[in-house]
Each structure stands twice: as structure tokens, then as C-alpha cells.
């Protein structure tokens, strides 16, 4: 492994961790081929979304590059090697949740190597996943959401686009990948719905309110033609024409949208460390429950395959009721 990278100062932020991984040695061809074959199998057998496959790829490539192709790369790594890598990640601040996801990917990867005869043992067999506390989704108050939505500068086409994106994400409870990957054909203004392809390639129809429809229509009529410069918008890698575009007529990336949310949070007087694009999805769910929405209907709107995933939002709503009682009851 690259000792210069291992011995560098601990990373303290996601950006520093990305830089740390970016500084690792290049991926060797043998590992690249193994990873590609695994992703092809995962897509064919599990129907994983492009975002999930990309996440798997990043996890496996980071490990392979950390190994630097020494000692045979991914195929020859043993339990001690994996433990050393996990210790390195821990020293640089990767969360238990991230490590648990990594171990899930590694178990699937090495199960395939066993199945195909590429390996005779599984180095992940005796590795335990880290204990994860049950963290509640972090929602933003309705007043803060209103401030965030009003933050973009509507005098520019980018600002009008950003307002429409924020409105749509909060109105429909979209995941970031669903929002930036939404095709132009996915929105039906006349019927007031958006067709979303979520995890596992599952489709769902989500109704839109008057506010989000208003801003979407303004974006489509005013901002999008300006951003496109009067030219046709090219299809993205999936063959679909993206709904939300940059001045270069390409789709907005998840990282770019993340940065926009942080910037508008600052403008709205919200601590940017306490909000992320996913906060709008959490707020969508929490605010609906606070106003009496049915849990199973919320499950359908969020695109959860299991009701148990949706039920965590009832805990957030319960905390909201407790706070109301504490603040307003005479003996609270």
C-alpha cells in the first residue's frame, strides 16, 4: 500500500476524504475488470439503480487503489488486509453507516468470487459490521423551508431553475439522484404529477401542488430555453433528455446540487451543516405526518419498498408533538 497516503493527517470532512481517495494510486487493470464484472452481475441479478452501482464501484475502487495492486490486488487480500483498510477509514472519519455499507458490498463481491471459483475463501466471513445507533431523519422546520425556497435569485435563469428544483424536491419528496436524473418527459404539468424511477428501478407517480407546478412552468417557459441557448438539449447517458440543465445544456450533478442547497441555506440564515438535499425529503415526509398523512400513503409517495422504512418518520413526528406539548402546555 502507499504509506505516504496512509500516514497523511486525518481527513476531517467529506471533501477532505474525497481528496484523500483521489490521491490514491491508480486502479490496476485486473482489479478494474473484476469490479466491472461484479457490477454487471449485480445489475443483472438485482436490478440495482445506476446510483447504487456507482456507489458500489466507488467503494471497491477505493479499496483496490488503497491496496495499490500489491500482493495480488482484490483477489488476494485477506482478513488482516481488510481490517487494516477499515482501520485506515476509521482514522479518517468515515462513519459506521458508511463502513457497514462497504462491508455489505465487499460480502457481495467476495461471494461472487467464491461462486465463480476465483477464490476459495471469503475474507469478509469473520468481519462484523459496526454497531450503528438509530439516528432519526433530520427534518427542517416549515418556516426554514419557506426561507430556503425563497433564497434563489429569480432574476437569473439559474436562480429560476434552482427555485423550481427546490420546490419540486420538497413537493414530491424526491431523492437527490431522482431529482437530478429526472427526464423532461417525467413531469406532466396538465395532470399535475411527476413520474419517478427510484431504487430498484421501481416507478411511482407523485402528485404535485400548485406552488411546485407554478415554478416548474416558469422554469420550462423562461429559464430552460435561456440555459439551452435556443438549441436542443442533448440526451444524457441513459438516453433521456434531462429536465434540469446547466448553461452547457447538460444535467446538473448531485455534487453541484448539494453545493446549491448549502449556499441557499446560508442565504436563508440556516446552518449549512444542519441541512442537505436529503433534508428536503425528510422534511416532506415529516411535515406530511405532522399534518395527518396516512403512513401507507407516505410509503407510496416516498417509494419505500417496506413500511418499516417509512415508520421511522413517525418517531420524528412524535418528537415534534412532545416539543409542542413541552412548549405550550401549562404544565409541560
Residue 229 carries which DSSP code? T
Known catalytic residues?
Answer: 175, 199, 278, 281, 304, 313
Greatest alpha-carbon span in the chain:
69
Q: How many CB atoms lie within 10 A of CB 190?
A: 6
Cα(150)–Cα(141) distance, rounded to whole angstroms? 14
> Would you say 167 and 243 are in contact if contact means Cβ atoms under 8 Å apart?
no
Provide DSSP, 81-114.
HHHHHHHHHHHTT--HHHHHHHHHHHHHHHHHHH
Take residue 85 and report the three cell numbers written for it: 483498510
- Per this entry, what is the length of the chain? 332
Tell me the pairing of strands 187-188 and 193-197: antiparallel
| Burial 232-262, CB ≥16 within 10 A → b, else e | ebeeeeeebebbbbeeebebbebeebbebbe
Amino acid at each position: 500500500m502507499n504509506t505516504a497516503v496512509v500516514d497523511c493527517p486525518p481527513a476531517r470532512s467529506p471533501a477532505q476524504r474525497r481528496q484523500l481517495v483521489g490521491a490514491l494510486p491508480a486502479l490496476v487493470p485486473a482489479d478494474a475488470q473484476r469490479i466491472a464484472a461484479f457490477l454487471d452481475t449485480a445489475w443483472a441479478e438485482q436490478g440495482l439503480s445506476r446510483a447504487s452501482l456507482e456507489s458500489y464501484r466507488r467503494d471497491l475502487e477505493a479499496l483496490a487503489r488503497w491496496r495499490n495492486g500489491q500482493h495480488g490486488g482484490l483477489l488476494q487480500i485477506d482478513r488482516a488486509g481488510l481490517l487494516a483498510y477499515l482501520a485506515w477509514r476509521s482514522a479518517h472519519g468515515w462513519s459506521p453507516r458508511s463502513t457497514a455499507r462497504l462491508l455489505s458490498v465487499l460480502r457481495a463481491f467476495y461471494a461472487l468470487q467464491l461462486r465463480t471459483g476465483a477464490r476459495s475463501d471469503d475474507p469478509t466471513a469473520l468481519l462484523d459490521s459496526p454497531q450503528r445507533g438509530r439516528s432519526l431523519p433530520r427534518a427542517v422546520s416549515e418556516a426554514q423551508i419557506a426561507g430556503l425556497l425563497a433564497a434563489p435569485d429569480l432574476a437569473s435563469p439559474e436562480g429560476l431553475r434552482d427555485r423550481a428544483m427546490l420546490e419540486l424536491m420538497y413537493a414530491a419528496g424526491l431523492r437527490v439522484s431522482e431529482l437530478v436524473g429526472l427526464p423532461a418527459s417525467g413531469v406532466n404539468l396538465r395532470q399535475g404529477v411527476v413520474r419517478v424511477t427510484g431504487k430498484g428501478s421501481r416507478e411511482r407517480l407523485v402528485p404535485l401542488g400548485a406552488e411546485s407546478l407554478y415554478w416548474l412552468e416558469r422554469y420550462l417557459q423562461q429559464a430552460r430555453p435561456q440555459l439551452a441557448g435556443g438549441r436542443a438539449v442533448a440526451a444524457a447517458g441513459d438516453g433521456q433528455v434531462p429536465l434540469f440543465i446547466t448553461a452547457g445544456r447538460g444535467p446538473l450533478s448531485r455534487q453541484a446540487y448539494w453545493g446549491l442547497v448549502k449556499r441557499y441555506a446560508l442565504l436563508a440564515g440556516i446552518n449549512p451543516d444542519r441541512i442537505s438535499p436529503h433534508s428536503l425529503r425528510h422534511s416532506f415526509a415529516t411535515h406530511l405526518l405532522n399534518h395527518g398523512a396516512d403512513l401507507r400513503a407516505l410509503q407510496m409517495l416516498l417509494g419505500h419498498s417496506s413500511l418499516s422504512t417509512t415508520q421511522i418518520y413517525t418517531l420524528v413526528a412524535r418528537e415534534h408533538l412532545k416539543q409542542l406539548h413541552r412548549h405550550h402546555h401549562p404544565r409541560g
